[in-house]
A and B are shown apart, each in its own frame.
Chain A
Amino acid sequence: MKPNLWLFIHFPKLALESWFTQSDQPVPQLLLAPGTKEVMQCNSLASQAGVKVGMKVSTATCLLQQVEIANFDPQTEKEALERLAILCYRFSAQISVDESGLLLEAGSMLKLFRGIRNYWHALHKALAKSGYSFVCSAAHTPVAAKVLAQNEIEFCSRNPVRVRDILDQLSIFQIGLNPKHAARLDAMGLSNYKLLRAAPKKELGYRFGRELLQQLLDLENSDHQGNSFELPPRFFQSIHLLHEVELAQGLIFPISRILQTLEQYLLARQLVSESLFIKLEHREISPTMLHIQAVQGLKYQKDWQHLLAIRLEQTQLPKPVIGIRVRAHRFSKEQHQSGDLLGYQFPQEDSDRLLAFLIARLGHDKVKRPFTTADPRPERAGLLVSPTNQEELDTEFPNAKKHPIFRLERIREIQPEHYDIKVEPERIVSGWWDENRIYRADYFIAQHKHTGQWHWLSRNDTGFWRLAGVFA
């Protein structure tokens, strides 16, 4: 059996970077530990000005002219970590979510990526795109990988001896031990890992208990992995906005971050999604809902973004937006479209794209297609239905009739003396099964004396003449 390889990705500024979205003008940013008024994380601009982690917020603000401050929010951090886990799903099927980092089982993936060098490179490229700062380390045990990454040592080896050489140089406080234990060990003169490793295990067990021994064992020998991450069955992501957004177009940037995750999610599951529901949250009033429809299912960020842009162009925000929630809906298996013989044109794909564009711009209820049913009553035989509702379309009945091309949605009363009736009437009697009264009407084909139009007139038991259709 080949030795294992575990990879740990540590995100040193995860909470900070998930809270503040990137802006054009970089501003020093501080994230405060809850309840303490101490700096927990700060960005590079702040540290350049002299801010250090653990500093009081009042001291930090004295150093900075301009600053953005937020409180640490564990939920935001957790959601960001899950987004990153989706991103990493391509690199390992076994992922576990740890505090501020992800653990990936990498050993079994090396064959697929043809070697560790390619794997390492591909992973770095994908993570760099995410916009988060990160440190990756790989070692033969999960704990060793984590210790290396959290100490920001970029290292990759499955050789236990080489890993040990690196670990040996770490101080007793850096190897992830209980801080109380570390302080006591330090006081005993065991100031680094090398010394600790050389100390007799029995004595250590006697003084510090099983916990410490287990930790030391895990560091170099165990393959135990924490809670494993699974792709959620549904895609649901939310972000809060740091600044209120007043214009709909301004939402494209924050939403496209989510669309990037959606792309990774769909790629990982080999699915496409047919529609997105976007909920824009406002202060005080109820949220604005946007529904974005793709016809045959999409997965790539750029395709969604295009539809989103068309939709947002038409959207008037009643109030500034403070938060966004995105839910993907109706997943289906990816279908490969066939093109023409040369593969230059994809008529079905083009048609689907046009339909998605029209729906995005005009709205769901404004784009329809004609539909026929078996019902003899004209107003039920010919309908307009949504072109994306496949279940409904499957029940179509090829009902051709000598009826006009246009029907009036609302039947209009007319004066029969304006018409020359040319053809004997067609009597339609029906509907005894689902209405209290029977549907009975005579339909006449008549030409308007003045305009010359050919109309379809109906007369029912009430004796009124109505305009029912136009032979256009």
Chain B
Amino acid sequence: MNNVSTIDALKNKGQIWAGDDWRLARIQSSPSGYTDLDSHLPGGGWPLGAVTELLTQYHGMGELRLLAPYLAKLGRQDQRWQVWINPPYQPHGPGLRHWHLNIEKILVCKASKQADLLWSIEQSMVTGGASVVLAWIDIALDKAQLRRMQLAAEKNNIPVFLLRPAKFKNAASIAALRLFVSANNEQKALRVDILKRKAGWPLEDLQLPVPLFNPKGALHEA
């Protein structure tokens, strides 16, 4: 009896993971808008209150299109800022609107120093003024910095997406979800490798239909 309760205690602390079916794992999440992807994500969507890493070989492999339906829905429901920090190129209003993103709620920040970058991410969460944070980080982050970010995300229940180069693919990370996004030669598909997910094994070569343009069409298409 005693042994069982010890294991239960460890399980509750999240220090051991029992091989239950990961689909049953209770993780707070929000649908990504791509059903094929959701069916492989614990909780059935992007984890809320957690750090998600999206790794790519080059900028702009389709990682934003992967996030766009979720950001669009969030922009309709939540009036707080969607903070974009250090995007590699200039976010283009007409293209964002095409994906139904609420551009009135997007804040594009440039933080040249690492301290400013981390500070901005943290403040976005702790002030309660942001609904989501997207940050492009090309530099290595140490464990303490990532841990701090994860704790702030958890405490304030805000999803954080880190868009990072593929060279960090094998670096240790405390992110709740890590995806590697690469191109498929077909125009309408992306290849996604799940490098890490909670309560589940990694998964390779997931082909997702992620088109170049919003299949729902734009509301005010010119």
**A interface list, Cβ under 8 A from B:** 345, 347-348, 350-355, 357-358, 361-362, 366-372, 378, 381-384, 387, 393, 396, 398-409, 422, 445, 447, 451-454, 469-472
Q: Shortest Cβ distance from A342 into chain B, in angstroms?
A: 15
Closest 6 CB pairs of A and B: A452-B183, A354-B129, A400-B97, A382-B93, A372-B93, A470-B60
A443 to B53: give the CA distance in the assembly, Å: 32
Which of A369, A381, A405, A452 sits near B64, CB closer than 8 Å? A405
B209 CB, min distance to chain A CBs, angstroms:
15
Closest chain-A Cβ to B10's Cβ sits at a distance in Å of 35
Asked if A369 contacts B95 (CB within 8 A), the reply is no
Please state if B98 and A452 are interface contacts (CB–CB under 8 Å). no
How far in angstroms is the closest Cβ of chain B from A123?
37
How many B residues face the partner with a CB closer than 8 A? 57
* B17 close to chain A: CB less than 8 A: no
Known contacts A362-B110, A454-B187, then 18 further A-B pairs from the complex at CB < 8 Å, ordered by chain A residue: A345-B128, A350-B127, A350-B128, A351-B80, A351-B81, A361-B119, A367-B108, A369-B104, A370-B92, A382-B91, A382-B96, A384-B108, A402-B221, A447-B185, A453-B183, A470-B89, A472-B59, A472-B63
Q: Shortest Cβ distance from A458 into chain B, in angstroms?
A: 13
**B88-106 interface mask toward A, CB cutoff 8 Å, 1 = contact, 0 = none?**
1111111111110001101
A361-B119, A384-B108 known; A451 vs B58 contact (CB < 8 Å)? yes
Whole-angstrom distance from the CB of A146 to the nearest CB of chain B? Answer: 50
Most B CB within 10 A of own CB, among A358, A367, A383, A399: A358
Known: A350-B129, A382-B93, A400-B98. A372 touches B103 (CB 8 A): yes
Q: Tell me the bound Cα distance from A357 to B98 in angstroms.
A: 30
- Tell me the bound Cα distance from A400 to B92 in angstroms: 10
Using CB atoms, name the residue of chain B closest to A374: B222
**Which residue on A lies nearest to B129, using beta carbons?**
A354
Cβ of B91: which chain A residues have Cβ within 8 Å of it?
370, 382, 384, 405-407
Determine how close the nearest CB of chain B comes to the CB of A249; give it in whole angstroms: 16
CB distance from B186 to the nearest CB of A (A): 10
A469 nearest CB neighbor, chain B only = B92
Interface centre among B60, B97, B111, B116 (most CB of A within 10 A): B60
B120 within 8 A of A: yes
The answer to whether A358 touches B93 (Cβ under 8 A) is no
With the chains together, A368 CA to B128 CA distance in Å? 19
Contact A453 B60 (CB under 8 A): yes
Cross-chain contact of A407 among B89, B97, B129, B213 (Cβ < 8 A): B89
Q: Could you give 29 example pairs across A and B, Cβ below 8 Å? A: A347-B80, A347-B128, A347-B129, A351-B81, A355-B81, A355-B107, A362-B109, A362-B120, A366-B109, A366-B110, A367-B109, A370-B96, A371-B93, A382-B93, A387-B107, A398-B220, A400-B97, A401-B95, A406-B90, A407-B89, A422-B187, A447-B183, A451-B58, A454-B60, A472-B59, A472-B60, A472-B63, A472-B64, A472-B89
B218 at the interface (CB under 8 A from A): yes
Identify the closest chain B residue to A366 (Cβ). Answer: B110
Residue interface bits B169-199, CB-to-A below 8 A is 1, else 0:
0000000000000111101000000000000
Contacts of A406 in B (CB 8 A): 59-60, 64, 87-92, 95
Contacts of A471 in B (CB 8 A): 60, 62, 65, 212
Cβ–Cβ contact B60 & A403, under 8 A = no
Q: What residues of chain B lie closer than 8 Å to A469, measured between beta carbons?
A: 89, 92, 95
Q: Inside 8 A of B124's CB, which chain A residues have their CB? A: 354, 358
Q: Does B79 interact with chain A (Cβ within 8 Å)? A: yes
Expressed in whole angstroms, the minimum distance between the Cβ of B6 and any Cβ of chain A is 39
**Contact pattern, B 71-95, Cβ under 8 Å of A = 1, otherwise 0:** 0000000111101000111111111
User: Is the pair A361, B120 in contact by a Cβ cutoff of 8 Å?
Assistant: yes
Question: What chain B residues lie within 8 Å of A355 (beta carbons)?
Answer: 81, 107, 129
Give the residue of B58, B93, B213 whose beta carbon is less than 8 angstroms from that of A399: B93
